[in-house]
């Protein structure tokens, strides 16, 4: 069996660490593994499958002999080094927002649009976490009953901002439980026991970049530019797991029972839906899991042919690292790497 030289850029970050874990868990056909970091940890070593791997600094010839480069060191690092990696012949999977909406760059969720990978020219973008789970919950139904309108309100964990935000949540929570005040660092305001309707910077139209990503990326993944979408993206004091309340208008009538049947038969989706016994998706439970969990499926009485859904996913796994590794596996399977 062929093996592949893989580089992880941002190897010390939350997603980078998850990449390392998932490559092992899924027994990825790994040849050489190169770990790059953009912080001060270059020169240190990381253990991988009983071996020590050196953390390297990025430079202009880092990607020689690399088959696959997984980027998770922020959009700025991607802007600089993705072209470098491509020039050296590596196929890049970029988890940042840097190139997602470029026409020539496939934006892929393997369960939804794997065929878009065929036309890649060295760079594939991983969608933002929240768009992945929205598309995963909508697409199986959309294929048989096209979506016309979606309203999304999100409940996004702090791990979306990286490991330091998780530490900040812990630190702030401790201080508040001791009756002390907190000084925010990562977020503009306190996040412990609070909510912030601000994820990324704001556009002139009043939407945050994250909300706009929900609109644009969901449409691109689903090849459905005609869907009307709007969203409010909110940061919540949860460590891992993004949740989203969806209110969807379909082209024709669909019952909750039909939706449960379709979603229950969809790879990567798990239906947890018996509210009478308090069974529904929860971020605390979804953390560490691979599936997109869907529940609270009911008629949305405010919309024609409406359904309301509650969708929860581990934002670090299926939301980011797992989805990217699944893209790599699909490329290998279909001979497109």
Residue 306 lies near its own copies (rule: CB under 8 A): yes
Which residue from 40, 44, 87, 189 is in contact with its own copies, where contact means CB under 8 A?
A: 189
Closest to 208 measured CA to CA, from 196, 220, 190: 196
Q: Between 153 and 290, whose beta carbon lies closer to its own copies?
A: 153
Distances (CA, A) of 108 to 80, 113, 193, 290: 22, 6, 35, 17
Region binding its own copies by CB under 8 A among candidate stretches 15-23, 78-86, 184-192, 218-226: 184-192
Residues numbered 232-271 forming contacts with its own copies, rule: CB under 8 A: 232, 234, 236-239, 243, 245, 247, 256
Residues numbered 32-51 forming contacts with its own copies, rule: CB under 8 A: none
Residues numbered 97-156 forming contacts with its own copies, rule: CB under 8 A: 149-151, 153, 155
- Phi first, then psi, for residue 322 (nearest 5°) are -65, -45
Which residue from 51, 205, 225, 226 is in contact with its own copies, where contact means CB under 8 A?
A: 205
**Residue whose entry in the numeric block shows the structure tokens 């704001």:** 202
Q: Between 148 and 317, whose beta carbon lies closer to its own copies?
A: 148
CB 60 within 8 A of CB 82: no
In the sheet that 4-9 helps form, which strands lie side by side, from edge to edge?
Answer: 45-48, 51-57, 30-37, 4-9, 68-71, 91-94, 123-125
Residue 194 lies near its own copies (rule: CB under 8 A): yes
d(CA 190, CA 185) in angstroms, rounded, equals 9
Q: Between 117 and 199, whose beta carbon lies closer to its own copies?
A: 199
Residue 275 lies near its own copies (rule: CB under 8 A): yes
Region binding its own copies by CB under 8 A among candidate stretches 19-27, 50-58, 105-113, 303-311: 303-311
Region binding its own copies by CB under 8 A among candidate stretches 51-59, 96-104, 126-134, 277-285: 277-285
**Residue whose entry in the numeric block shows the structure tokens 């989203």:** 244
Give min distance, CB of 186 to its own copies, in A: 13
* Residue 67, SS3 per DSSP: coil
- What lies within 8 Å, CB to CB, of 56 at 6+ separation is 34, 35, 36, 37, 42, 62
Distances (CA, A) of 238 to 307, 314, 321, 323: 26, 11, 19, 21
Give min distance, CB of 205 to its own copies, in A: 6
Cβ neighbour number for residue 40 with a 10 Å cutoff: 10
Can you give the binding site for its own copies, defined by CB under 8 A?
149-151, 153, 155, 169-170, 173-174, 177, 188-190, 193-198, 202, 205-208, 215, 228-230, 232, 234, 236-239, 243, 245, 247, 256, 275-276, 278, 280-285, 295-303, 306, 308, 310
């Amino acid at each position: 069996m062929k093996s592949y030289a893989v580089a992880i850029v941002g190897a010390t970050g939350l997603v980078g660490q998850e990449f390392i874990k998932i490559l092992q868990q899924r027994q990825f056909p790994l040849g050489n593994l190169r770990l790059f970091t953009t912080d001060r940890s270059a020169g240190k070593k990381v253990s991988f499958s009983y071996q020590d791997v050196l953390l390297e600094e990025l430079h202009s010839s880092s990607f020689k002999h690399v088959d696959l480069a997984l980027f998770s060191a922020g959009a700025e690092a991607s802007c600089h080094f993705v072209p470098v990696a491509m020039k050296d012949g590596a196929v890049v999977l970029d988890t940042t927002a840097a190139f997602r909406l470029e026409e020539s760059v496939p934006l892929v969720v393997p369960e939804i649009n794997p065929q878009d990978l065929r036309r890649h020219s060295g760079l594939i973008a991983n969608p933002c976490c929240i768009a992945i789970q929205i598309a995963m919950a909508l697409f199986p139904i959309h294929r048989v009953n096209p979506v016309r309108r979606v309203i999304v309100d999100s409940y996004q964990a702090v791990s979306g901002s990286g490991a330091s935000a998780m530490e900040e949540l812990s630190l702030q929570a401790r201080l508040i439980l001791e009756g002390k005040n907190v000084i925010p660092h990562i977020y503009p305001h306190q996040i412990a026991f609070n909510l912030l309707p601000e994820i990324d910077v704001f556009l002139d139209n009043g939407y945050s970049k994250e909300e706009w990503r929900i609109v644009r990326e969901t449409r691109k993944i689903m090849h459905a530019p005609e869907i009307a979408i709007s969203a409010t993206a909110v940061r919540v004091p949860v460590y891992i797991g993004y949740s989203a309340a969806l209110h969807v208008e379909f082209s024709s009538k669909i019952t909750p029972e039909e939706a449960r049947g379709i979603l229950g038969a969809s790879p990567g989706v798990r239906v947890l839906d018996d509210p009478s016994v308090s069974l529904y998706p929860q971020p605390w439970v979804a953390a560490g899991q691979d599936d997109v969990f869907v529940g609270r499926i009911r008629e949305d009485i405010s919309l024609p042919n409406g359904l309301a859904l509650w969708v929860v996913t581990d934002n670090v796994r299926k939301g980011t690292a797992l989805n990217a590794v699944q893209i790599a596996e699909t490329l290998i399977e279909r001979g497109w790497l």
